[in-house]
Structure 1
Amino acid sequence: MSFKNIKSRVLSSLILIVISSQCFASEIRIALKNKPDTLDPHRYNVGNNLQVTSSIYQQLIGDEFGNESLQEGIIEDIVLIDQVLNTWQVNLRKNIKFHNGKELTVEDVIFSIDRIRQLPNSPSSFRQYVEPIVSMTVVDQYRIDMRFKKGYAEFNGDLSKISIVSKPSPTYTHLDNDVSFSGTHFYRLVNYDLEKNVVELERFDGNRLIENAIKKVNYVFISDDNERMEALINNEVDVVDRLSLKQIKQLQKKGFKSFTRNTNRVIFLQLDTFREQTPFITDHKGRSLDTNPLKDRRVRQAISIAINREQLIESVMDGNANPAGQIFLSGSLLASKNLKPINHNLQKARRLMKEAGYKNGFKLTIHGPEGRYIRDKQLINAIASMLADINIDAQAKSLPAKEYFAKALAKHTFSINLLGWAPNVNGSYTFNNLFLPPDRDRQLGSGNAGRYNNEKLNQLILKAQETFDDIYRRQLYQRASELVINDVAIIPLHFQVVNWGMSAKVNYFPKPGTWRTNIASFRLAR
Structure 2
Amino acid sequence: MKAGRLTQLALATALLAGGAADGRAQTLRIGLAAETTAMDPLSNEITSNYTATRHIFDTLVQTDAQQRPGPGLAVRWGARGERQWVFDLRQDVRFTDGSPFTGRDVLFTFCRILNNPTAAPGAFAEPVRNMENVELEGEHRVVVTTRSPDPLLPVNLANTAILSARAAGDRPMRFTPEDGCGVAGSFPSISDFNSGKAVIGTGPFALKEYLPGQRLVVQRNEGYWGPKPHWATVELRPVTAAGPRVAGLLAGDFDLIENPASRDLERIRRDGRFSEQITPSTRIMFLQPDTGRARSPMVNEGGPNPFRDLRVRQAISAAIDRKALVERVMEGAATVAHQFLPDGMGGALDPAPELPFDPALARRLLAEAGYPDGFSLVLHASNNRYVNDAKMAQTLAQYLSRIGIRTTVETMPVSVFFTRRRENEFSLNLSGWGSSTGEASSFLRHWVATASREEGLGTRNYGGYSNPELDAVLKEALHTMDDGKREALLRQVVSLTVRDLAAIPLYFESSTWAFRKELAFAGRVDQMTLAAEVQPAR
Report whether the alignment pairs 1:48 with 2:52. Answer: no
In structure 2, what is the equivalent of residue 123 of structure 1?
Answer: 120
- Matched residue of 2:291: which SS? coil
Could you give the per-residue CA deviations for residues 319-345 of structure 1, whole angstroms, max 9, x where no partner exists? 322111110112222210141442210
For residues 204 and 381 of structure 1, the distance between their equivalents in structure 2, rounded to whole angstroms, comes to: 45
Q: Which residue type is aligned with residue 63 of structure 2?
A: D
Report whether the alignment pairs 1:508 with 2:507. Answer: no
Q: Structure 1's 374 and 173: CA in aligned 2 closer, same or farther, altered over 3 A?
A: same
For residues 311 and 219 of structure 1, the distance between their equivalents in structure 2, rounded to whole angstroms, comes to: 34
For residues 263 and 229 of structure 1, the distance between their equivalents in structure 2, rounded to whole angstroms, comes to: 21
Tell me by how many angstroms 1:9 deviates. Answer: 5.2
In structure 1, what is the equivalent of residue 108 of structure 2?
Answer: 111
Checking the alignment, whether the CA contact within 8 Å between 1:39 and 1:52 is kept in structure 2 is: yes
1:264 to 257, 271, 282: 282
Size of the aligned set, in residue pairs, is 511
For residues 69 and 388 of structure 2, the distance between their equivalents in structure 1, rounded to whole angstroms, comes to: 33
Tell me by how many angstroms 1:524 deviates. Answer: 1.8
Runs (4+) of structure 1 exceeding 6 A deviation are: 65-68
For residues 70 and 323 of structure 2, the distance between their equivalents in structure 1, rounded to whole angstroms, comes to: 40
Report whether the alignment pairs 1:278 with 2:296. Answer: yes
In structure 2, what is the equivalent of residue 199 of structure 1?
Answer: 216
For residues 325 and 312 of structure 2, the distance between their equivalents in structure 1, rounded to whole angstroms, comes to: 21
1:210 to 224, 227, 252: 227
2:150 to 143, 148, 152: 152
Gaps of 5+ in 1: none
In structure 2, what is the equivalent of residue 140 of structure 1?
Answer: 138
Q: Which residue type is aligned with residue 324 of structure 1?
A: A
Q: How does 1:231-242 map to 2 (within 5 A)?
A: 231-242=248-259
Q: How does 1:226-375 map to 2 (within 5 A)?
A: 226-255=243-272, 256-282=274-300, 286=301, 288-289=302-303, 291-375=304-388
For residues 215 and 8 of structure 1, the distance between their equivalents in structure 2, rounded to whole angstroms, comes to: 27
Q: Which residue type is aligned with residue 207 of structure 2?
A: L
Could you give the per-residue CA deviations for residues 273-326 of structure 1, whole angstroms, max 9, x where no partner exists? 1011111112xxx4x43x321111011000111111122223322232211111
For residues 247 and 213 of structure 1, the distance between their equivalents in structure 2, rounded to whole angstroms, comes to: 29
Q: Structure 1's 64 and 452: CA in aligned 2 closer, same or farther, altered over 3 A?
A: farther
Report whether the alignment pairs 1:20 with 2:20. Answer: no
Could you give the per-residue CA deviations for residues 132-169 of structure 1, whole angstroms, max 9, x where no partner exists? 11111222111122111123322123222321011124
2:99 to 102, 108, 127: 102
Checking the alignment, whether the CA contact within 8 Å between 2:67 and 2:438 is kept in structure 1 is: no
Range that drifts further, 34-43 or 331-340: 331-340
Q: Which residue type is aligned with residue 137 of structure 1?
A: E
Q: Structure 1's 131 and 264: CA in aligned 2 closer, same or farther, altered over 3 A?
A: same
In structure 1, what is the equivalent of residue 389 of structure 2?
Answer: 376
Q: Structure 1's 224 and 150: CA in aligned 2 closer, same or farther, altered over 3 A?
A: closer
Identity of aligned residues (%): 25
Range that drifts further, 230-239 or 241-250: 241-250
Could you give the per-residue CA deviations for residues 211-239 of structure 1, whole angstroms, max 9, x where no partner exists? 45323211111111111111111111111
Q: Structure 1's 121 and 442: CA in aligned 2 closer, same or farther, altered over 3 A?
A: farther
Range that drifts further, 44-53 or 16-25: 16-25
Checking the alignment, whether the CA contact within 8 Å between 2:204 and 2:229 is kept in structure 1 is: no
Q: Which residue type is aligned with residue 297 of structure 1?
A: L
In structure 1, what is the equivalent of residue 177 of structure 2?
Answer: none
Checking the alignment, whether the CA contact within 8 Å between 2:289 and 2:463 is kept in structure 1 is: yes
1:390 to 377, 388, 403: 403
Report whether the alignment pairs 1:220 with 2:203. Answer: no
Q: Structure 1's 187 and 18: CA in aligned 2 closer, same or farther, altered over 3 A?
A: same
Gaps of 5+ in 2: 170-183
In structure 2, what is the equivalent of residue 75 of structure 1?
Answer: 74
